[in-house]
Amino acid sequence: MRSLPDASVDVIFADPPYNLQLGGELHRPNNSRVDGVEDSWDRFDDLATYDAFTRAWLAEAQRLLKPDGTLWVIGSYHNIFRVGAALQDRGYWILNDVIWRKSNPMPNFRGRRFTNAHETLIWAARSQESRYTFNYESMKALNDDLQMRSDWYIPICSGGERLRDAEGRKQHSTQKPEALLHRVLLASTRPGQLVLDPFFGSGTTGAVAKRLGRRWIGLERDNDYARIARERIARVEPLTDPSLIEIKPKREAPRVPFGWLVERGLLEPGTLLYGPGRRHCAKVRSDGTLIASGPEGDHRGSIHQVGAALQGAPACNGWSFWHLDVEGRAVPIDVLRQKLRAEME
Amino acid sequence: MRSLPDASVDVIFADPPYNLQLGGELHRPNNSRVDGVEDSWDRFDDLATYDAFTRAWLAEAQRLLKPDGTLWVIGSYHNIFRVGAALQDRGYWILNDVIWRKSNPMPNFRGRRFTNAHETLIWAARSQESRYTFNYESMKALNDDLQMRSDWYIPICSGGERLRDAEGRKQHSTQKPEALLHRVLLASTRPGQLVLDPFFGSGTTGAVAKRLGRRWIGLERDNDYARIARERIARVEPLTDPSLIEIKPKREAPRVPFGWLVERGLLEPGTLLYGPGRRHCAKVRSDGTLIASGPEGDHRGSIHQVGAALQGAPACNGWSFWHLDVEGRAVPIDVLRQKLRAEME
DNA sequence: ACAGGTGGTGAATCGCACA
DNA sequence: GTGTGCGATTCACCACCTG
């Protein structure tokens, strides 16, 4: 970075080491071993060392940015708070924090925390005075004519897009999906502008920049990574008319778990539910499970599980099985779900 | 906070001032004025002042927490990075960052950024050694039997839940939705535990804690807010039926050694057990150990040890690994354990 | 050619009670 | 403190194989 001139870059996209601090080995319930990030480039002695590293590259990045330039950084809870605080300390002006919601994150195998299903991006201008680029209309068009929100639902990089060697091993442990960079660059750069990625890795930034007709610089100190990236980008065909090809965002199915009805107050814990013909009865608990008394003791579980158990059936659709008593009439609980779905739109 | 004793609180939920640094007035496209947060409690002279404030209350919070206690903080990009970094500096151990995705955020009226459609919560243990509470089963139940993810989709507080005075003005500018606190407290506290909210405001934490059978302390320096919160919480009806709020984790079920099945006659010595897909086979001995023949000689030991040895795995849950042959069908030995547990009650 | 089943895998800070 | 052993725990997607 030190060899590049002042105020020469329009946008910087940075995917620095996250400093994950992983402990021992982790296994899936089927005893297979999780292939975690154990690369030497992700190891720092302590938080102070990581902070010094962060402040150093953020300072250079600010020097390289044009006055109206912006910076993107991606990270997880391990590092993003330190990066964000350092940004603000240096006078960068945060424009948004953006959540990359993963459609297919790795589960939490031990059941000890919430599934870590997202990463965080910070989008910041070089200073509070920067007159930055934001392609509002492109983003709105990409989102079915609704303003693009700060939470993005995008799959992780896998399948054919994931770079692998002849033995099928992934060539970079943290390759980012092109869909993510597509949205970043489409939102914050104009065709022909210069994008710098100081942690180039497998070269996703360069590949997408080339395709979208942006110029790019990638910095990578590992020679293998640099070679992989060069070969990858050489295979990319630039779009001659980018307006013709848009990556449509992934739509999420509007699933409504039964527990949400309790959480949102549409259903009080303790409410009684009835099966068809009032032959069965169960009580709603505060976590959205049911409790019912059967001939062989209590049944607890989801609306589907308890419905199945009471009928002695292998499966049951709880949404149509269970009913509320509304002034003597039996009303299927599915009407509450429809109500909530309507509120969600 | 200074008046409370050391290590007296199980969970802290903190909704500190966000230090929003709003500039002039903001108007909607129809020229109506946006009623933003202009309260004096949200104004700080500079980042250093805000940091000092943050570090002070985080230090007190850590003193008040029991060794296995956890802390929740909610914030936006204006303050959450500073809070997160300060947390880590103090030795708190981050467990998750959780994204509250708003179903109905305020749009970005100027079209200059992404719609700011989320807030960030940090969930952290008092230290890396804390053996914190996480009600995995409840969270899974609340999400239709899938692991709860780190992104939560919840509406903002509005409608009947929003506290308003006689003139219809909102009584607190940043009242949080009860659904958010419902999920927070259901995930990380047990009935009867003590929850502290050092920025009590309109008292959402107290209202939900009372309803869910948790004890609570709210600290609020504004007398009007304190009065509003007191009146609000007085109107809340707690759930009295313990079966609605007490969720017994599987991990706390009474331990049943495998040998008891043999001892009680549920399993004959000499019975053959099979691994998944009948790829492995072992014989039950009279002391509850197994004996199996592998490629490298006999394996003897507990159901777990033999299962692990045959798979070449570091560990194995024998209860789910081994199956009985019941008329040609494979039945996990765990059903025998459940039978014995039921007899023991 | 197509449907359905099987197996692999992803930026992961992933126990706890005993002796 | 340290060591040992029980036993709890996974979702979405894709490649590949089989019928």
Question: What pLDDT is attached to residue A141?
Answer: 86
**What's the confidence (pLDDT) of residue B314?**
84
End-to-end CA distance of chain A: 46
Prediction pTM value: 0.92
pLDDT at B164 over 80: yes
CA–CA dist A342, A129 (Å, integer): 42
CB contact under 8 A, A270 and B183: no
Considering only alpha carbons, which residue of chain B is nearest residue A83? B81
Residue A244 to residues A188, A210, B114: CA-CA distances in angstroms?
19, 16, 23
**B246 has a pLDDT exceeding 90:** no
A14 in B contact zone (CB under 8 Å): no
Asked whether residue B145, judged by its CB, lies under 7 Å from any atom of the DNA or RNA strand D, the reply is: yes
The shortest CB-CB distance from B114 to any of A31, A107, A150 is to A150
B162 CB within 8 Å of a chain A CB: no
Nucleic strand D within 7 A of Cβ A30: yes
Over chain B, what HEC string results?
CCCCCCCCEEEEEECCCCCCCCCCCCECCCCCECCCCCCHHHCCCCHHHHHHHHHHHHHHHHHHEEEEEEEEEEECCCCHHHHHHHHHHCCCEEEEEEEEEECCCCCCCCCCCCECCEEEEEEEECCCCCCCCCCHHHHHHHCCCCCCECEEEECCCCHHHCCECCCCCECCCCCCCHHHHHHHHHHHCCCCCEEEECCCCCCHHHHHHHHCCCEEEECCCCHHHHHHHHHHHHCCCCCCCHHHHCCCCHHHCCCCCHHHHHHCCCCCCCCEEECHHHCCEEEECCCCCEEEEECCEEEEECHHHHHHHHHCCCCCCHHHHCEEEECCEEEECHHHHHHHHHHHC
Residue A244 is predicted with a pLDDT of 53
From the CA of A21 to the C1' of C15: give the distance in Å.
18
Q: Pick the range with the lowest mean pLDDT from A73-87, A304-318, B73-87.
A: A304-318
DSSP bridge partners of A297: A294
Which residues of chain B neighbour A111 with C-beta distances below 8 Å?
Answer: 136, 147
- List the A217 CA – C7 C1' distance (angstroms): 40
Residues B298-308 pLDDT 10s: 899 999 999 99
Please tell me whether any atom of strand D lies within 7 Å of the Cβ of B137: yes
Taking an 8 Å cut-off on Cβ atoms, the answer to whether A284 and B313 are in contact is no
- Rounded to an integer, what distance in angstroms lies between the CA atom of residue A135 and that of residue A145? 13
Which of B12-41 are b and which e, b meaning 16 or more Cβ less than 10 Å from the residue's Cβ? Answer: bbbbbbbbbeeeeeeeeeeeeeeeeeeeee
Task: Give me the total of CB pairs closer than 8 Å, taking one residue from chain A and one from chain B.
Answer: 200
Tens digits of residue pLDDT in A180-191: 999 999 999 999
% of chain A exceeding 70 in pLDDT: 95
How confident is residue B129, by pLDDT bands cut at 50, 70 and 90?
very high
Residue B131: band (very low, low, confident or very high) from pLDDT cuts 50, 70, 90: very high
Is the Cβ of B311 closer than 8 Å to some Cβ of chain A?
yes
| A186 touches A142 (CB < 8 A) | yes
Q: Which residue of A has its CA nearest to B149?
A: A115
- Asked if A112's CB is within 8 angstroms of B134's CB, the reply is yes
Q: Which chain A residue's Cα is nearest to B119? A: A97
Residues 281-340 of A with CB under 7 A from strand D: none
Report which residue is nearest nucleotide C14 when distances run from CA to C1': A110
> CB of A95 within 8 Å of any CB in chain B?
yes
User: B84 and A77 in contact by Cβ < 8 A?
Assistant: yes
Tell me which residue in A96, A116, A343 faces B114 most closely, judged by beta carbons.
A96
Span B35-59, average pLDDT: 93
Question: Which residues of chain B does A136 touch, with a Cβ-Cβ cutoff of 8 Å?
Answer: 111-112
Q: Do residues A275 and A310 make contact, with C-beta atoms less than 8 angstroms apart?
A: yes
